[in-house]
Amino acid sequence: MRAVPTTQTATIRVWRLAALVLLGLAQLFDYVSFMVMIERHGLVAELNPIVVTIHQSVGMVGLTVVKASAVVFLASTATLLMPRRPNVAFGVLVVGIILGIVGGVSNVMTL
């Protein structure tokens, strides 16, 4: 017999989904603000040397693939950790959200 979902279980599921959506939105904010920034000021405005190196090596398409892969990796890792290590999973998501927001804000500040 299946267990009946409780209100607490439903609340946890909502928080999981909200955290995953926030991760995607924060990283999208970082990515879009990066594109606008380099369109206006060129690649020299980017402060992250890893991003600059990737962009110089494989271009915007490669950078997009790397960014999307990183977001999928973070979301997948958090999803896999959720059942046994929910605090670690939320920590992974929070770090990804904070990095996306900080990256986006730093890009917007250069505009």
Residue 104 lies in a domain: yes
Give φ, ψ of 73 to 5 degrees: -60, -45
26, amino acid identity: A
Contact 23, 91 (CB under 8 A): no
Chain centroid, CA 106 distance in Å? 15
C-alpha distances (whole Å) from 84 to each of 3, 75, 77, 87, 93 are 18, 15, 12, 9, 15
Residue 4 lies in a domain: no
Per-residue pLDDT of the chain (111 residues; tens, 9 = 90+): 566 667 767 788 888 899 999 999 999 999 999 999 999 999 999 999 999 999 999 999 999 999 999 999 999 999 999 989 999 999 999 999 999 999 999 999 998
- For residue 25, the surrounding DSSP H or E stretch is helix 7-41
| Token digits of residue 44 | 């020299």
Predicted pLDDT of residue 5:
64
Q: What's the pTM value of the predicted model, to 2 decimals?
A: 0.86
Residue 9 lies in a domain: no
Residue 5 burial (10 A CB sphere; 0-12, 13-18, 19+)? exposed
Residue 57 lies in a domain: yes
Residue 75 lies in a domain: yes
Task: Say how many Å lie between the first and final Cα of the chain, rounded.
Answer: 58
Total structural domains within the chain:
1
Residue 101 lies in a domain: yes
Residue 93 lies in a domain: yes
Domain housing 55: 16-110
Residue 95 lies in a domain: yes
